[in-house]
Structure 1
């Protein structure tokens, strides 16, 4: 699977999968990134791709030294299931 990238022009994290793109929209706050929406193309759902996307996005956010604010239900659930990111929650 491809690496998650930060498409700053569109304010979203992206993951290429089989010619499609899963993405997580975000907006910036002071020292935090608010993930507002995640979307996986219908044909790719149910395969853990959104989780890979969020995991990659969190790695990029952590590398930048920012906190994350979950602005969508999927990210709220992901963070609840992955306490290793608790230090990042803003």
Structure 2
């Protein structure tokens, strides 16, 4: 991971601020399942790999905590399909 993504468990999201602009990955955690709801990277920051870093950090956190992952967010679902090393996390 090229960035130090912040995990904000109180808001159930992962955060990264670049050039004063916030990018987030929102999730819900219930019964040991992390449901990734949304990955939001503003257009001004697009193409920098921020969404990938947010997703990678969320998946690493899920793995460390023994959580399964349900990717409702289309970006997270596509990321998991492209990276089969995360297939074992799928709920």
TM-score normalised over the length of structure 2: 0.89
Which segments of 5 or more consecutive residues in structure 2 lack a partner in the other structure? none
Counterpart Cα distance in 2 of 1:60 and 1:27 = 13
Alignment of 1:50-89 (within 5 A): 50-89=51-90
Q: Which moved more, 1:34-43 or 1:1-10?
A: 1-10
| Ranges of 4+ aligned residues in structure 1 off by more than 4 Å | none
SS of the residue aligned with 2:29? strand
Match of 2:31 in 1: 30
On the 8 A contact 1:4/1:57 being kept in 2, the answer is no
Match of 1:16 in 2: 17
Work out the number of aligned pairs and report it.
Answer: 90
CA RMSD in angstroms, aligned pairs only: 1.3
Per-residue CA shift, 1:24-60, capped at 9, x if unaligned? 1111121110000010122101121101110111111
Once the 2 structures are TM-superposed, how far is the Cα of residue 21 of structure 1 from its aligned partner? Answer: 2.0
TM-score normalised over the length of structure 1: 0.90
Once the 2 structures are TM-superposed, how far is the Cα of residue 73 of structure 1 from its aligned partner? Answer: 0.5
Once the 2 structures are TM-superposed, how far is the Cα of residue 23 of structure 1 from its aligned partner? Answer: 0.5
Once the 2 structures are TM-superposed, how far is the Cα of residue 17 of structure 1 from its aligned partner? Answer: 2.3
